[in-house]
């Protein structure tokens, strides 16, 4: 015993007289050092404690933990926990007990508590018990039945095969490809008759007393669309402004024979009609500024209301469609057009003012039917300048469809800048930008008109 109260540790000597006492501090373990086996050290104090399997575990002096085990797990008192150790043969040998066996813990190196507190934050560690792994077994396997066969992949020759590289719908194509496809459909480069030709000549009067609703634009684009798809079409410009002549790039300056000569001077219509350049099967009767005084001169002319009807009937050729572009008024020029036509096509702008003047137009049509042309009827209503972003456009469309029913075309002409740009280049939107929304909409409207006319089995007449 020393002066400060410490005792000398007992020294243990082996058979050869060499001390085997470990001089390393018991507070720090060095994992890299070899562990002494029970055969290398002889304890001074031996305490027999029953162990697992009936073997006794060697211990050192009181308070000292065992240095090594022979694969057994020792059980001490309440304050002496079980510690798994390395095999008796030293490092490199497999332990006789699994590391994750119940009741055992992996050997962890003991460190100084004070040193650990300086470098590691204090965190609460919650031990999560291992969850059992559940393997789902099919019912067929449990019952002993054979597993269901796996369907093979569809082969290219199989009708159910779908290529991942080829789009299945036209909507899946790029925008440029879709626009190119629409352009080819509108222009019809092959020149085939893709729109059915009517059994009789359909004379359609494009009329609306309100200006700016798209009468001229509708007449020009429908005529071009029908002509591009195999129909013979004649456009009569009855508006003194001559906008239809401008849209078809037909000369209509002063001195050019025009529709005024047909109405006032009884000039044959065949001498006035001009072919439209670049559009086969399309002719146009232009209008000049002289037509502005025709209403005054027609007041004293006999049968003034039927002058245009007689001029069309005397035309030697035969047309599938005759479109008459009327002025924005209900004067004698519009009355001549209503008497000459069998059908009335009314373009309606999707706004309130267009609906307000529609009743007066219907009343004038009824008067002409009663007194001048019993065969006249309102056959087609076309909604123009439709803006889907506004509720007003939708409300006008619903009102018109509820009132006129099937006479309203399913095709609707939207607001499109290409439609307004085309006349400045002397073209229709069908040839100016055939892939635009405006051209596609007028193409659909023309196709719908052609399909409706093909259902009327009436003998053709000029």
* Residue 432 lies inside a defined structural domain of this protein: yes
Residue 210 has pLDDT above 90, yes or no: no
In a domain, 356, yes or no: yes
Residues 6+ apart with CB under 8 A from 401: 408
Answer whether residue 405 is part of any domain: yes
Q: What is the pLDDT of residue 151?
A: 52
Question: What's the confidence (pLDDT) of residue 126?
Answer: 52
> What pLDDT, on a 0 to 100 scale, did the predictor assign at position 51?
46
What pLDDT score does 140 carry?
Answer: 47
CATH number for position 439: 3.40.50.300
Long-range contacts of 100-109 (CB under 8 A, 24+ apart): 103/73, 104/73, 107/83, 109/29, 109/31
Is pLDDT of 111 > 80? no
Q: Is 369 inside any structural domain? A: yes
Domain-embedded: residue 123: no
With tokens 């007689």, the residue in question is: 310
Q: Tell me the average pLDDT across 272-300.
A: 91
Q: How far is CA 121 from CA 109, 127, 128, in A?
A: 18, 18, 21
pLDDT at 305 exceeding the cut of 70: yes
User: How far, in Å, CA of 386 to CA of 350, rounded?
Assistant: 6
Q: How many CA atoms lie within 13 A of 160 on its CB side?
A: 4
At 398-415, the pLDDT tens digits run 999 999 999 999 999 999
- Per-residue pLDDT of 249-269, as tens digits, reads 999 888 889 999 999 988 999
Q: Please report whether residue 327 resides in a domain.
A: yes
More confident residue, 93 or 271: 271
| Bigger pLDDT: 297 vs 19 | 297
pLDDT of amino acid 239? 92
Domain of residue 367 covers 201-454
Q: Which residues contact 48 (CB under 8 A, 6 or more apart)?
A: 56
Q: Number of folded domains in the chain?
A: 1
- What number is the average pLDDT over the span 235-241? 94
Instruction: Tell me the residue length of the chain.
Output: 462
Whether residue 8 is contained in a domain is answered as: no
274-275 β-sheet, strand order: 274-275, 282-285, 233-237, 321-325, 202-206, 343-349, 377-384
Burial class (CB in 10 A: 0-12, 13-18, 19+), 262: buried
**If we measure between CA atoms, which residue out of 326, 176, 157, 333 comes closest to residue 243?**
326
> Is residue 172 a part of any domain in this protein?
no
């Amino acid at each position: 015993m020393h002066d400060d109260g410490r005792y000398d540790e007992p020294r243990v000597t082996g058979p050869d007289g060499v001390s085997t006492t470990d001089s390393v501090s018991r507070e720090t373990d060095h994992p890299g050092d070899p562990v002494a086996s029970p055969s290398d050290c002889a304890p001074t104090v031996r305490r027999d404690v029953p162990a697992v399997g009936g073997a006794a575990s060697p211990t050192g002096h009181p308070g000292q933990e065992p240095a090594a085990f022979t694969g057994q797990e020792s059980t001490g008192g309440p304050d002496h926990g079980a510690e798994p150790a390395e095999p008796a043969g030293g490092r490199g040998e497999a332990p006789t007990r699994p590391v994750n066996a119940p009741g055992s813990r992996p050997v962890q190196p003991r460190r100084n508590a004070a040193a650990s507190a300086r470098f590691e934050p204090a965190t609460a560690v919650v031990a999560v018990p291992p969850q059992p792994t559940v393997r789902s077994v099919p019912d067929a396997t449990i019952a002993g039945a054979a597993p269901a066969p796996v369907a093979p992949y569809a082969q290219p020759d199989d009708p159910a095969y779908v290529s991942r590289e080829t789009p299945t719908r036209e909507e899946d194509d790029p925008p440029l490809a879709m626009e190119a496809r629409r352009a080819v459909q509108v222009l019809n480069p092959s020149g085939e008759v893709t729109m059915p030709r009517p059994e009789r000549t359909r004379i359609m009067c494009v009329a609306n007393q309100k200006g700016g609703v798209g009468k001229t634009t509708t007449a020009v684009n429908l005529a071009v669309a029908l002509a591009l798809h195999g129909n013979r079409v004649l456009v009569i410009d009855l508006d003194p402004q001559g906008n239809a002549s401008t849209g078809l790039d037909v000369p209509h300056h002063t001195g050019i024979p025009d529709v005024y000569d047909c109405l006032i001077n009884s000039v044959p219509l065949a001498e006035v009609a001009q072919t439209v350049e670049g559009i086969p099967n399309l002719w146009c009767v232009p209008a000049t500024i002289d037509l502005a005084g025709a209403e005054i001169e027609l007041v004293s002319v006999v049968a003034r209301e039927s002058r245009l009807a007689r001029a069309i009937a005397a035309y030697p050729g035969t047309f599938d469609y005759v479109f008459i572009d009327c002025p924005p008024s209900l004067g004698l020029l519009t009355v001549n057009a209503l008497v000459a036509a069998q059908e009335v096509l009314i373009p309606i702008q999707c706004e309130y003012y267009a609906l307000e003047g529609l009743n007066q137009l219907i009343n004038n049509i009824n008067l002409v039917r009663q007194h001048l042309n019993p065969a006249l009827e309102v056959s087609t209503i076309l909604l123009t300048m439709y803006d889907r972003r506004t509720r007003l456009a939708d409300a006008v469309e619903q009102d018109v469809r509820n009132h006129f029913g099937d006479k309203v075309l399913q095709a609707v002409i939207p607001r499109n800048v290409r439609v307004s740009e085309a006349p400045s280049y002397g073209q229709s939107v069908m040839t100016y930008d055939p892939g635009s929304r405006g051209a596609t909409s007028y193409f659909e409207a023309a196709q719908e008109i052609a399909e409706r006319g093909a259902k009327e089995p009436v003998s053709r007449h000029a």
